[in-house]
Structure formats: C-alpha cells, structure tokens
Amino acid sequence: MEIVVASSVGALTAAGVYLILRMRAFASILGLALLTYAVNVFLFASGRLAINLPPILQPYGDASYTDPLPQALVLTAIVISFGMTAVLVMVALGAYLESDDDRLDMDGTDQGLDHDGEGKAP
C-alpha cells in the first residue's frame, strides 16, 4: 500500500515538473494539474494510511479510525486548485490570443512599452 501511494505521488510529481519545464502554456496547465493531483494524494497520506476505517471517533468500543483532518485539508486544496486551474486556463488563453504564441518565457521585455501596456512589435 505505502509503495503504491509513494510511487504514484513520485510519478505524478515528476511528470508535472517535466511538463512545466516544457515552457509551453498547455503543457504547463497539464503539468500543474498533475502536481495538484500529486499533492492531494500526498496530503491524504500525511494522516497515515488506513483502509476501511471511519474518519470519526467511535464512542462505543475502541475501534480504530482514520485521521479526518487531512481529508478536510484535501477538500480545501481541491477546491482552490480547481479554481486556480480555471483562472490559469483563462489567462493562458488570453495570452495566446493576444500574442499568437504559447511560450511561457518572455523575450524583449526590455522593449519600449507605451502607457497601455501594448508592447511595440520587435
């Protein structure tokens, strides 16, 4: 069980970092999505791995339970990362439509810029 979770977190992170380093908008979006999956699984594991146990204390008897806090954290993280991915897609789309180029690195940032932020064509 541990080896499966650990290797999946590792594989997702490695793939995510690789995709971000491609420095293309679409690849980075996928890479960041994979990274958030990796971190969500990782957060689950931070409360110790337990299978088929309820996330609440049992008042009747000393039955074991799984830590409920990481689940709450993961829920928050999922909501935030979902919203962030949506924002990222919109910004990436805007940048692509404006410049006809989906590279992340910027060239010519030192070019003259007029007051409205419209770069002069190099």
Nearer to other proteins, 61 or 107 (CB): 107
Q: 15 vs 39, which CB is nearer to other proteins? A: 39
**What does the binding site for other proteins look like in residue numbers (CB under 8 A)?**
16, 20, 25, 28, 32, 35-36, 38-39, 42-43, 45-48, 69-70, 73, 76-77, 80-81, 83-84, 87-88, 91-92, 94-95, 98-99, 101, 104-106, 109-119
User: 56-91 burial string, b = 16+ CB within 10 Å, else e?
Assistant: eeeeeeeeeebeeebeeebeebeeebeeeeeebeee
Alpha-carbon torsion, ordered 86, 72, 9, 16, to 10 deg: 20
When the beta carbons of 4 and 61 are compared against other proteins, the nearer one is: 4
Retrieve residue 112's tokens.
């003259």
